[in-house]
Structure 1
Amino acid sequence: MTDQSWRGVATEDSDELSAGAGLFLRARSRRLLGELLQPHRRSLWWLLATVVAQNAAWLAGPLLIGVGIDVGVPALVDGDAWPLVWITAAMVVAAVLDTVLRFAFLTGSGRVGQAVLLTLRRRVFTHVQVLPLSFHERYTSGRTISRLTSDAEALAELLDEGLDGLITALFSVLGIGIVLVVLDPPLGLTALLGFPALFLVARWFQRNSTAAYRRTRETIAALIVQFTETFGGIRAVQAFRREPRNDELYAVLNEDNRQAHHRAFWLIAVFVPAVVLIGNVVTVAVLGYGALRVMDGAMAVGTLVSFLLYLRRFFDPLQDIAMFYNSYQSATAALEKLSGVLEESPSVPEPVDPVPLPAAAGEVVFDDVRFGYGDATVLPGLVLTLPPGETVALVGTTGAGKSTLARLAARFYDPVEGEIRLDGVPLHRLTDADLRRAVVMVTQESFLFSGTVADNIAFGRPGADRAEIERAARAIGAHDFITALPDGYDTEVDKRGGRLSAGQRQLVSFARAFLADPAVLILDEATSSLDVPSERLVQHALRTLLADRTALIIAHRLSTVEIADRVLVMEGGRIVEDGSPADLVAGTGRFAALHQAWADSLV
């Protein structure tokens, strides 16, 4: 990963946003959160009622203590213990209610929070899968992993812990503020004198922490990207001895992350003591003024004690709000990233009025198709017809447009102009299910998923039974090597099929395609990574795989091209030669020159 590439991670999600862009991101995030909470409206109203009742029970404590001092103790001195007994009983009931209701709130909010996270993770995962190749080529796998892990966890922390603290703190501050003014208006107004200072401190913290916590999300995403790409390409890293350079890049990113978190922690370190200081100053002022009122007989001692207890409970939750704001800013930044992914639109959307295609014959027509990446045009105006059942080989220099043509045929992209039709139906009018059933693409990667050999073959047609899987493997010629494995078809292939050789992985991918039984099969350099013995093994499988279906083969090896009915030579996005392999070899064109060069290399 180059210096520019990892720095690009930050610039794509930069916190240096215009006011308009910032408002848009926040609105988008709130809209997403609203959509996630919409199914849980009843539960949220129940939680709101629970937390209100719980805070009422919690607020009763200091008031009952004051009443006990002013009423219960004097009555006890006069020989009447009942007032103190009733007050004590009321305190016990309030404490029990506080405990039970808090338990109900925490379990209920936890249930809602986990349901929201489950929905969010599923939604992001499902959405990312259907986004086009252009998105995945632009949006690295590390950034996608960051969205589903680090960003989702930031939201989980908010829902699991921060939300409880916020709601409790807000109700406490609001409720206690009202109680203080009602309990003794002069003292209440004295306590409110600290509010301007609290507002200024809170405003400073809010303004600075927004950028700080967005920055922490960006730096942790950059770390995940670097980590993922380093170990995803560990063979290249070790082959080119890039470990020291990767260590330097990772150290720089780690330092950026440390500094971002240091800034966030510093803001908390300033804000919390400032709130404590303001609270202590207000408490001293209230204690002094309240003592004078008690001495003048304008206030009872119990009322002053209740007031001071409430005042302490008033300032403590403000620190909880600060800690919540920590989680809130981090979660908001994460939600902005997640909502950005969900805002990405598929460039090959499902048709609004699809045309059914129950059984495809396999005719593919490119009708004056123009396509390019960005400003670069790759196919300037392709006209091509592939009859049903014909095997067509595409050859040409790198960048000629072969893979682009194949990707358009599989509808990984839609053309800018023109139309591609399958059996007379435009590809953009076919449902994704019909298109994927009719057209299958096999690449040189031969990607196998973690699981058994049987699982990987069945990937071509989920629901296939063991007999159908084995029939496909036998047809391709993979049955013998599979049965020789330790557990046969139940052998675990390990990560990316690492337990199998390149040729074996290719045969499994061919068996997968054979089981899918498409009308059109596209092979994108499917034999380019094989050695000569493996290629010979695969050639027989290819003949079986290509029989009775339209096939489009992209290959640099002319030994693979020889099995084609027709060869197309591409140059600059145009077809410059078209004919059978024998006719083109006998000619004097580009394919004849390529074939001669290949034959000379074998001498």
Structure 2
Amino acid sequence: MEKKKAGGLSLLKRIFSYTRPYRTRLWTSIVLAIVLAVLAPVRPYLIQLSVDHYISNKLLQGLITITVIQLGILLLESVLRFVFMYTTNWLGQTVVNDIRQNVFKKIVHQQLSFFDNTPIGTLTTRTVNDIEAINDIFSEGLISIIADVLTIIAIMVIMLYTDWRLTLVSLSVFPVLILATYFFKESVNKSFHQVRNAVARLNAFVQEHITGMYVVQSFAAEDREIAKFTEINKDHRNANIKAIFAYSVFFPIVEIILAIAMGLLVWYGASRMLDYKVTQGVIIAFIMYLNLLFRPLRMLADKFNTLQMGLVAGERVLGVLDSEEYLHNNGTYVPAEVKGKVTFEQVAFEYKKDVPVLRGISFEARAGDTVALVGHTGAGKTSIISILNRLYEIKSGRILIDDKPLEEYDIHALRRHIGIVLQDVFLFSGTIYENITMRNHDIPLERVMEVCRLLGIHDFIMRLPGHYEFNVMERGNMLSQGQRQLLSFARALLYNPSILILDEATASVDTESEILIQQAIEKLIQGRTAIVIAHRLSTIRKANQIIVLDKGHIVEQGAHDELLQLKGIYQKMYTAAMSSEQQMA
């Protein structure tokens, strides 16, 4: 997956472009950040005023009044801070929701070549973890940093205004804090990069091995795969420990610097107070100022790292949105019906650049014909059916349906007229009804039952608990391979397609299920164009046209009897297949 590199500013601009529908919330959070920054030094100043004016002069009524004012400001500040935190987090979660929706929409419409080159675990990380990190840009990142910086500026301004000498002495250790913050930020930033990369590797590894657990256990590879997982997991742990170490060093250093600043304040303030140049109220206020000043300073470096990680995650997420493998649906032709004529004209195709899979493929299937594709593994059979419904884009040549190029069809309209049954059946977690209809609840149950009766699988479904509401669980694990294949067949035929594609549709089913499918095929291919891939050559003898493929080329083409008379590749394959089937019988 190719990513478009972008600077931090342009990334922020793109991410914040998602706040446009929520401008009111964004500006509310910015205004609240300014108001909270202004309010931060007010309470210490009022305490200074209370000590120096009302307490020293024993003005009880005034002291009560200013105390009530302080309580009111404290209450107001608490309410405003709640609104600020809620607004920024609401904004972040809403933006995350919108971005995640766009990312999933983009993923769903990608060409299959995108998934060939991108691990599923990586896409899971992009869709879940990385997008969630973008939320931190709002809740703990840029807006929060702005609020903290404004607070620091407001406090320093009031400190300088109150007593600039005392301010300079108190903040003389400030350069040390800035230096420590810089090293902390760089250390944690590097660790967080390693953490996010480790998380992506963990997700990819776990997803891949859970999906392939049957293979892992079949080959007794558990210990080897555990060892590999331990290595990846250790990288994740070490990256986190580096970040923890940086935090463990940085925060005590900040506390030491604060203690030194307090010590300098008391030492210099006390000496000036003895000379009656500084009042007690000023010393007390300055102690509060320092605490208020160091509180955001402690977290500022951490928030910068949070912002940086959000930007890194944002760049990865935007890389998915910017992917050039997006399948553009520029066609406008939406036919009311498709007769089913299929024409390939000098079609060339490759999964990877300069590695051709199909070379100059040309054939024509008349409407209602049955065309069989045969050939050894890797000959290009599955590639032909994959490009027929535009799961992949061809390199050159033309594919036409009813004499109209595929590119002119609206892709959804095109695929509604093509039914496909694959050897590797994928069922989603959900009911049988949902899997057959692909969660299209506009299709009535009666229509589904009608198709299943036609296929002869209604009875087996009715024997299941819940019948059509039976939950097949993830990947259809509650059903046998034959049952899954039959449901896949019902799913393909539900929309009454004009073109039917059978890719090894009976290769992995038991004899009983195969008989059911063969009986259904004989009925249902009548009046439809059928393109059949089958290892069992005995099932394609009645095909109108058999195309023999070898290394991406058509090497033989014709009816069954014609190809046998050629005594070429097909005749050898057919003889070997018949001999194998007789031995199995």
CA RMSD of aligned residues (A): 2.3
Aligned AA (2:336): P
1:189 to 153, 159, 168: 168
CA distance in 2, matches of 1:485, 1:39: 49
Corresponding residue SS for 1:382: strand
Partner of 1:348 in structure 2?
A: 327
CA contact (8 A) 1:477 1:507 kept: no
Give how far 1:193 is off: 3.0
1:484 pairs with 2:453: no
Give how far 1:400 is off: 1.0
Partner of 1:212 in structure 2?
A: 191
Give how far 1:158 is off: 5.3
Partner of 2:12 in structure 1?
A: 30
Please list the CA deviations of residues 245-269 of structure 1 after superposition, one character each: whole Å capped at 9, or x if unmatched: 0110011001111111112222222
CA contact (8 A) 1:567 1:581 kept: yes
Give how far 1:161 is off: 5.2
CA distance in 2, matches of 1:551, 1:447: 21
1:370 pairs with 2:340: no
CA distance in 2, matches of 1:568, 1:270: 71
Please list the CA deviations of residues 226-278 of structure 1 after superposition, one character each: whole Å capped at 9, or x if unmatched: 11111111111110011000110011001111111112222222332333333
CA distance in 2, matches of 1:447, 1:28: 41
Partner of 1:246 in structure 2?
A: 225
- Aligned pair in 2 of structure 1 residues 571, 92: CA closer, same or farther (>3 Å)? same
CA contact (8 A) 1:461 1:516 kept: no
- Aligned pair in 2 of structure 1 residues 35, 588: CA closer, same or farther (>3 Å)? same
Please list the CA deviations of residues 357-392 of structure 1 after superposition, one character each: whole Å capped at 9, or x if unmatched: 332221222121111122211112122222112111
Pairing of 1:93-492 with structure 2 (within 5 A): 93-156=72-135, 159-160=138-139, 166-351=145-330, 354-374=332-352, 375-459=354-438, 463-492=442-471
Corresponding residue SS for 1:75: coil
Aligned AA (1:62): P
Give how far 1:25 is off: 6.0
- Aligned pair in 2 of structure 1 residues 30, 424: CA closer, same or farther (>3 Å)? farther
Give how far 1:27 is off: 5.4
CA distance in 2, matches of 1:86, 1:567: 98
1:564 pairs with 2:546: no
CA distance in 2, matches of 1:74, 1:272: 38
CA distance in 2, matches of 1:492, 1:535: 24
Of 459-468 and 88-97, deviating more is 459-468
Of 44-53 and 187-196, deviating more is 187-196
- Aligned pair in 2 of structure 1 residues 396, 462: CA closer, same or farther (>3 Å)? farther
Of 200-209 and 172-181, deviating more is 200-209
1:74 pairs with 2:83: no
Of 401-410 and 235-244, deviating more is 401-410
Give how far 1:22 is off: 10
CA distance in 2, matches of 1:59, 1:424: 77
CA distance in 1, matches of 2:534, 2:138: 53
Partner of 1:61 in structure 2?
A: 43
CA contact (8 A) 1:214 1:329 kept: no
Give how far 1:518 is off: 2.0
Give how far 1:187 is off: 1.9
CA contact (8 A) 2:419 2:493 kept: no
Please list the CA deviations of residues 483-540 of structure 1 after superposition, one character each: whole Å capped at 9, or x if unmatched: 1222211111122112222222111111111112222222222222123332222211
CA contact (8 A) 1:187 1:290 kept: yes
Give how far 1:462 is off: 5.1
CA distance in 2, matches of 1:230, 1:205: 37
Aligned AA (2:17): E
Give how far 1:190 is off: 2.8
1:598 pairs with 2:580: no
CA distance in 2, matches of 1:159, 1:440: 46
Corresponding residue SS for 1:258: helix
Give how far 1:461 is off: 5.6
Partner of 1:507 in structure 2?
A: 486
Give how far 1:67 is off: 0.5
Could you list the runs of 5+ residues in structure 2 that have no partner in the other structure? none
CA distance in 2, matches of 1:583, 1:380: 24
Aligned AA (1:391): T
Partner of 2:518 in structure 1?
A: 539
CA contact (8 A) 1:28 1:336 kept: no
CA contact (8 A) 1:268 1:322 kept: no
Of 263-272 and 504-513, deviating more is 263-272
CA contact (8 A) 2:109 2:326 kept: no
Please list the CA deviations of residues 447-474 of structure 1 after superposition, one character each: whole Å capped at 9, or x if unmatched: 1111111111112865211111111111
Aligned AA (2:280): V
CA contact (8 A) 1:569 1:575 kept: yes
CA contact (8 A) 1:367 1:418 kept: yes
CA contact (8 A) 1:217 1:333 kept: no
Aligned AA (1:580): A
Of 284-293 and 130-139, deviating more is 284-293
CA distance in 2, matches of 1:25, 1:211: 18
Partner of 2:33 in structure 1?
A: 51
Aligned AA (2:256): L
CA contact (8 A) 2:4 2:319 kept: no
Give how far 1:70 is off: 0.3
Of 197-206 and 364-373, deviating more is 197-206
- Aligned pair in 2 of structure 1 residues 551, 217: CA closer, same or farther (>3 Å)? same
Please list the CA deviations of residues 129-148 of structure 1 after superposition, one character each: whole Å capped at 9, or x if unmatched: 11111111111111112222
Aligned residues: 581
Give how far 1:93 is off: 0.8
Aligned AA (1:371): F
Please list the CA deviations of residues 125-178 of structure 1 after superposition, one character each: whole Å capped at 9, or x if unmatched: 111111111111111111112222332333345544567754543332122121
CA contact (8 A) 1:355 1:425 kept: no
CA contact (8 A) 2:185 2:301 kept: no
Give how far 1:124 is off: 1.5
Partner of 1:8 in structure 2?
A: none
Of 333-342 and 414-423, deviating more is 333-342
Corresponding residue SS for 1:446: coil
- Aligned pair in 2 of structure 1 residues 462, 28: CA closer, same or farther (>3 Å)? farther
CA distance in 2, matches of 1:214, 1:357: 51
Could you list the runs of 5+ residues in structure 1 that have no partner in the other structure? 1-11, 14-20
How high is the TM-score relative to the length of structure 2? 0.94
Corresponding residue SS for 1:204: helix
CA distance in 1, matches of 2:10, 2:511: 55
- Aligned pair in 2 of structure 1 residues 28, 594: CA closer, same or farther (>3 Å)? farther
CA contact (8 A) 1:25 1:336 kept: no
Give how far 1:435 is off: 1.7
Give how far 1:74 is off: 2.3
Aligned AA (2:270): A
Please list the CA deviations of residues 283-319 of structure 1 after superposition, one character each: whole Å capped at 9, or x if unmatched: 3223222222222222221112111210121012111
CA contact (8 A) 2:370 2:543 kept: yes
